[in-house]
C-alpha cells in the first residue's frame, strides 16, 4: 500500500521548552511551570538530551531546603533520559514509556537532537491516528476493483491494530482474500471478520 506509516514524532509538543545543565533552580521552576508539562528536558550545547527534570524532582528539592540556593538542573535531572526517535512507531513509543515507567518522552531527530516531547495525551493521539491510517488503507483495499466487495456493504474499523470487517462480498473466497490482503497492511496485528460473508455462500462464507 502507498503512504508512509504513522510516526510518533508527528504528534509531540513542538517547540519544546528545555534547559541546560547549568540553568539555575528558579529558572528551571519557571520554565517547567510555563511549559505545563510534567518534565523538562535538559540539553547540552549541541541540543542532545542529557537528562530530564520532573515536577517531582523540584518538589523534592523544595522539601530538602537547607538554607542554601536551590540546585542547578544538572543536580536535579535524571540521567540518562528515556527518549524515542521521531521515526518510532506510536506503539513502540508507548511501550517505551510504559516499560520505563515514565509519562513523557523527549523525541530526537536523526542526529540525536531534541525536536519534541510526547505526553500520554500525545501518545494516545498518535495511536488513534495509526489506527485510522490502517482503517483507511483497509477501506482502500476493499474498494479496489475486483475485490468482490458489494457496493455500500462493507464496514471497517480498527482498534489497537486489529481490523474489524463486516459486510458482504460476492463470494466467500472474495471475503477470505480480502482478509488476507488486509492482514498484510503495515501495522495490522490481526483481522476479525464479523458477519463478513459472500452472498453466494451464506453467512458462513468466512471460516
Model confidence pLDDT, tens digit, residues 67-112: 888 899 999 999 999 999 998 888 899 999 999 999 999 999 999 9
Instruction: Judge whether 90 lies within some domain.
Output: yes
Instruction: Judge whether 2 lies within some domain.
Output: no
Are both 99 and 29 inside the same structural domain?
yes
For residue 182 the three cell numbers come to 488486509
Smallest CA-to-CA distance from 164 within 143, 135, 125 is with 135
Taking the whole predicted model, whether its pTM rises above 0.75 is answered as no
Four-CA torsion 146, 148, 149, 150, nearest 10 degrees: 110
Are both 30 and 78 inside the same structural domain?
yes
Rounded Cα–Cα distance for residues 196 and 98 (Å)? 36
pLDDT tens sequence across 136-177: 999 999 888 888 888 777 899 999 999 999 888 888 888 899
Are both 12 and 71 inside the same structural domain?
yes
Q: Supply the CATH number for residue 133's domain.
A: 3.30.1340
DSSP for residue 199:
T
Give the ranges where the chain is alpha helix by DSSP (H). 25-35, 55-63, 73-76, 90-100, 120-142, 172-183
Amino acid at each position: 500500500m502507498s503512504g508512509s506509516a504513522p510516526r510518533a514524532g508527528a504528534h509531540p509538543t513542538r517547540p519544546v521548552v528545555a534547559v541546560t545543565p547549568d540553568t539555575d533552580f528558579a529558572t528551571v521552576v519557571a520554565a517547567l511551570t510555563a511549559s505545563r508539562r510534567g518534565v523538562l528536558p535538559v540539553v547540552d550545547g549541541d541540543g542532545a538530551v542529557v537528562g530530564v527534570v520532573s515536577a517531582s524532582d523540584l518538589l523534592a528539592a523544595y522539601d530538602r531546603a537547607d538554607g542554601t540556593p536551590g540546585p542547578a538542573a544538572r543536580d536535579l535531572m535524571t540521567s540518562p533520559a528515556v527518549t524515542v526517535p521521531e521515526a518510532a512507531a506510536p506503539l513502540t513509543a508507548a511501550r517505551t514509556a510504559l516499560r520505563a515507567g515514565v509519562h513523557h518522552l523527549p523525541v530526537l531527530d536523526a542526529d540525536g537532537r531534541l525536536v519534541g516531547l510526547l505526553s500520554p495525551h500525545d501518545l494516545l493521539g498518535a495511536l488513534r491516528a495509526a489506527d485510522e491510517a490502517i482503517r483507511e488503507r483497509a477501506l482502500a483495499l476493499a474498494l479496489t476493483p475486483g475485490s468482490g466487495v458489494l457496493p455500500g456493504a462493507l464496514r471497517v474499523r480498527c482498534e489497537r491494530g486489529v481490523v474489524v470487517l463486516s459486510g458482504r462480498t460476492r463470494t466467500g473466497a472474495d471475503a477470505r482474500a480480502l482478509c488476507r490482503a488486509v492482514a498484510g497492511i503495515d501495522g495490522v496485528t490481526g483481522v476479525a471478520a464479523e458477519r463478513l460473508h459472500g452472498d453466494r455462500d451464506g453467512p458462513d462464507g468466512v471460516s
